[in-house]
Amino acid sequence: MSKFFDEALEESRLTRAAVRVRHVLLGFTVAITLGAMGYVFVKIDRELDRSATVNSDNVTWTLAQVEVDALKLQRAVVAASERPGDPKALDDVRLAFDIFYSRFNIVSRSDQMKDLPVTLELRKTLWSEDAFFDRVTPLIDGDDAALSAALPALRQEVARVADESRAKVVASLQTLMEGGDSRRNELRRSLQVFASAALGLLGLMAGLSVVIILQNRAQSRRSETTERAVHNLRATIESSLDAIIISDALGQITDCNAAAETIFGRSRDSARGVRFAQLLSREGHEDPLASLHQMMRTGSPELQDGRLQMTATRADASRVPVEVALTEAKGASGEPMFIAFIRDISERIEREESLRKARNDALKGEEAKSRFLAVMSHEMRTPLNGLIAATELLQSSTDLDQRQSWLSEIVLSCGWAALDQVNNVLELTRLGSDQSASYQLSDFSPAQVIRDLILQNQPHAAKRGNVLQFEGADTAPDKVTAPRQLFLRVLYNLIGNAIKFTDAGNVTIRLSATPRDHGTKTHLSVAVIDTGIGIAEGDLERIFHNFETLDASYARMREGTGLGLGIAKLSAEAMGGTIRVTSALGKGSTFTFDVTLPVAVEAEDSAAQNAPMADDDVPALNILVVEDNPINSLLLTEMLRLRGHTVTTAIDGIEAVDHAARTPFDMILTDISMPRMDGLEATRRIRREGVCRKVPIIGVTANASPEKMPEFLGAGMTDVLVKPITRAALMAIIATYARGATRNRPRTIDPVATAVPFLNPDVFNETIEEMGRDFVERIADRLLHETESVIVQLTDLGAAGAYEDAGKAAHKTAGAAAAIGLSGLHSALSGYERAAQAKDGKSTAAALAEVRRVLPGTVAELRARGLALALTRAAAE
């Protein structure tokens, strides 16, 4: 397109240059020609003038006349001398003399003849002193007698004058002819020059004609180009989708295009003369044209790509949002003018609006989803919490026969499994919502975390016949500061995944560490290498997607929601790490978790200082339980009453505040989300005034987000207990705050209390290796049955106060449990033994509860390791 304009510009530039050159040439030529013509003209004029004033024929005649008159005089004198005494003859002499005299007078005075011999020389003869006229005139003027007497002498004299006249006239004619020749030549030359000049001029004119023709041709070509360019420009402007308005410097519209007619709803004619400000306006700008112009010059940031948003007013007073760009130009006579390009952006704005709305809707949807999940987690975790706690209570506080115990165990393990899934989903939601920065940092040993995980996963691995190994812990730093929860989650999922897809193979966890930043940081690379089924290369991308299992049939083969790797990936990323995977189908996969973490600064272990009181030391407290869910309320109440505490219940914040105002409780446990008034508001009010304003208030919530902690604490809560509430966690927190102890630092309590593992995998695996699986199975089965019986026995003995016997019984079973690596059971029974030895009823009861708690976990763990425990305790019985 611009080619046309360039062409036109180039053309007119060339033309301008050519015109300048031509003007100079033309001027030069005209000056020279005029000069030459003038010169020649003057010359010819002079020549002609000369030939006009000097009529050579006339001069010749006059000259000849001198001789004629001289001869006439001679003849008159001769006649008079032949007729002496004739007065008529004498008069003729006088007349002839006068004529000759006058003739010579004329000749001698003539300008043209002054240089001729006839004038110069004859004058001497005739006119000088004592010459012819001097001597003869007195005779002529004298009387007849004197004249007659003088005639003979006069006759001779006149003859001589006549001869001389003739000679001089001839000489003069000669001179005249020569002069005439030269003058003619001169004239001829002048005429020749004139003719040449005229020819030259003709040539020049011919040349000029050619130039003019060429110029005309160029001119027409240029005007054609210009016309084309103008046409193209007009077509461009006219067909432009943007409205184009041309205004003068005062903002008065001089022209516009069709699009402008459409946008402004005005015809071109009615738009002309309208002021710019009448068509376009912008809030806060009185003269939009001037402000736009100003902005353009100063490069105001308000301009987006040189455009400014304005409002166009249509002829029918409706308003349209537009975008305006401005260009300065010059009119034909150089006056400044403005060209405004106006784009109707109402559609765009509508689109933007709908996009914004869609986005907001989507965000709202996302929020709603998050809320939904949070609520779901609350609503699901609460009943699960109830389920688990109730089952625990059932197991620990009532006598169950073996079948009941077995069934309750199933309820418990199913409850835990469901809770695990809910937690997974919740975790994924949390990770996905990009609030990972709020994960709490703690100092931990990566190697230890891995070792613990291996210990935990040993049963799973064994169940599938896999060997779980840990390599290369040496280089790892003692401790790093990082969100332990995330680190753990990454590896938990990777290891779990590896075990899940490997049968009778190896799962190796290889930890390597490289110091970074002068040892203040460490780059950890944890590779989880399995010899499992592997993943096809094409599927490598997909496996990290949520809910992704590689195919449906496969998914059925392996339990799982498909969330594991997604959680691992998101967790790794939340820590600033990455997970890589390499795999060969049928040969195994290697998942490598790379992350750079700061090395923990060594500090004294403060845990000891903050050790909670032993369960035994907790005095009976008067506790207010605020919980809207009756089951949870009941469970919590039961748990506390079981430990000798006095419990008052409230179903919401208002009731709680009411109770707290009247009764000086020792501690308040409150749910967070409740109808009417939530836990936070209740806490604030209790803290404000009343007898309970200084008692520990423990928030009980299913929402375990660390980021909520400041809010809870800010409301005045002393600490937070995360649901589901396990006995141990509950006891621990009550022990901590039992005597008005103040919270030293905020902490979250892992929802799953992991005290002593159910199994010591080393011992357990050793035993299996040495004694064989069948043996261990039988022993374990027997031991579990025995534990069942012991629990019944201990309950009875404890109730009877026969602590010594009970301690012994517990010790016996504990020893057996330790022998095959059932560390959890061992620990619990040992605890009972200690309590029994101390003869403390309360702590024995607590220890017994712990034994009861550990038992189902142990059973599950053993099953997970593939032991066929006579299938069930009930069946064994």
Partner 1 sequence: MCFLFPTAGRLAAACVLAVAMSLPARAELAQPTGEQVLKIDGAIAQTNSEGAALFDLEMLQALPAGEFATTTQWTEGEKVFKGVPLKALLQSVGASGSTITATALNNYSVDIPMDALKDDAPIVAYSIDGETFSRRDKGPLWIVFPYDSGAEYQTELVYGWSIWQLATLTVSE
Shortest distance (Å) from residue 55 CB to partner 1: 5
- Residue 69 within binding range of partner 1, rule CB under 8 A: yes
- Rank residues 103 and 659 by Cβ distance to partner 1 and give the closer one: 103
Sequence-distant (6+) residues with CB within 8 A of 22 are 211, 215
Residue type present at position 22: R
Position 520 contacts partner 1 (CB under 8 A): no
How many binding residues for partner 1 (CB under 8 A)?
Answer: 20
106 binds partner 1 (CB under 8 A): yes
Asked whether 138 and 97 are in contact (CB, 8 A), the reply is: no
| 114 touching partner 1, by CB under 8 A | no
Tell me: does residue 55 bind partner 1 (CB under 8 A): yes
Are 528 and 498 in contact, with CB atoms under 8 Å apart?
A: yes
Q: Which of 70, 97, 565, 657 binds partner 1 (CB under 8 A)?
A: 97
Pick between residue 70 and residue 412 the one whose CB is nearest to partner 1: 70
Q: Which part of the chain contacts partner 1 (CB under 8 A), choosing from 93-101, 621-629, 634-642, 856-864?
A: 93-101
Beta carbon nearer to partner 1, 95 or 339: 95
CB of 124 to partner 1, least distance (A): 20
Q: CA 157, 160, 162: angle at the middle one, nearest 5? A: 110
What whole-number distance in Å separates Cα of residue 131 and Cα of residue 108?
A: 15
Q: How far is CA 802 from CA 397, 616, 793, 798, in A?
A: 19, 18, 10, 6
CB distance 339 to 326 below 8 Å: yes
Does 98 contact partner 1 by CB under 8 A?
A: yes
Q: Which is nearer to partner 1, 109 or 217 (CB)?
A: 109
- Binding of residue 86 to partner 1 (CB under 8 A): no
At 873, the amino acid letter reads: R
The answer for residues whose C-beta is within 8 angstroms of residue 358's C-beta and 6 or more apart is none
Q: Which is nearer to partner 1, 116 or 639 (CB)?
A: 116
72 binds partner 1 (CB under 8 A): yes
The Cα 122–Cα 14 span in angstroms is: 77
Q: Which is nearer to partner 1, 136 or 640 (CB)?
A: 136
Q: 341 pairs with which residues across the strands?
A: 244, 325
Per CB under 8 A, 418 contacts partner 1: no
Choose which of 101, 132, 764, 803 interacts with partner 1 (CB under 8 A): 101
Site stretch for partner 1 (CB under 8 A), options 108-116, 305-313, 737-745, 786-794: 108-116
Q: What is d(CA 161, CA 624) in angstroms, rounded to the nearest whole number? A: 181
Which range binds partner 1 by CB under 8 A, 66-74, 411-419, 635-643, 685-693? 66-74
Q: Is 48 in the site for partner 1 (CB under 8 A)?
A: no
- The minimum distance between CB 123 and partner 1, in angstroms, equals 15
What does the DSSP 8-state code read for residue 754? -
Nearer Cβ to partner 1, position 109 or 662?
A: 109
Among 6, 25, 84, 105, binds partner 1 (CB under 8 A): 105
Distance CA 136, CA 126 (A): 10
Binding of partner 1 by 192 (CB under 8 A): no
Residue given tokens 């006598």 in the structure block: 399
Query: CA torsion angle for 406, 408, 413, 418 (degrees, to 10)?
Result: 150
- Closest CB to partner 1 among 106 and 202? 106
Closer of 92 and 788 to partner 1 (Cβ): 92
Give dist(CA 8, CA 2) in Å, integer: 10
Contact 617, 732 (CB under 8 A): no
Bridge pairing between strands 506-516 and 319-330:
unpaired
Considering the rule CB under 8 A, would residue 95 count as an interface residue with partner 1?
yes
Candidate segments 104-112, 533-541, 715-723, 846-854, binder of partner 1 by CB under 8 A: 104-112
In whole angstroms, how far apart are CA 116 and each of 39, 48, 168, 270? 30, 21, 9, 95
Report the distance separating Cα 580 and Cα 245, nearest Å.
60
Q: From residue 137 to residue 156, what is the string marking binding to partner 1 with x (rule CB under 8 A)?
A: x-------------------
Q: Which of 56, 110, 219, 402 binds partner 1 (CB under 8 A)?
A: 110
Q: Which two tokens stand for residue 195?
A: 């003719």
- By CB under 8 A, residue 102 contacts partner 1: yes
Separation of first and last alpha carbons in the chain: 97
Distance separating alpha carbons of residues 251 and 246, to the nearest angstrom: 9
Q: Least distance to partner 1 from the beta carbon of 137, Å?
A: 8
Minimum CB separation from partner 1 for residue 188, in Å? 22
Q: Does 469 bind partner 1 (CB under 8 A)?
A: no
Taking CB under 8 A as the binding criterion, the range among 90-98, 789-797, 820-828, 839-847 that sits at the site for partner 1 is 90-98
CA distances from 259 to 2, 423, 495, 822 (A): 22, 61, 67, 87
58 contacts partner 1 (rule: CB under 8 A): yes
Residue 600, SS3 per DSSP: coil
Interface residue list for partner 1 (CB under 8 A): 55, 58, 65, 68-69, 72, 95, 97-99, 101-103, 105-106, 109-112, 137
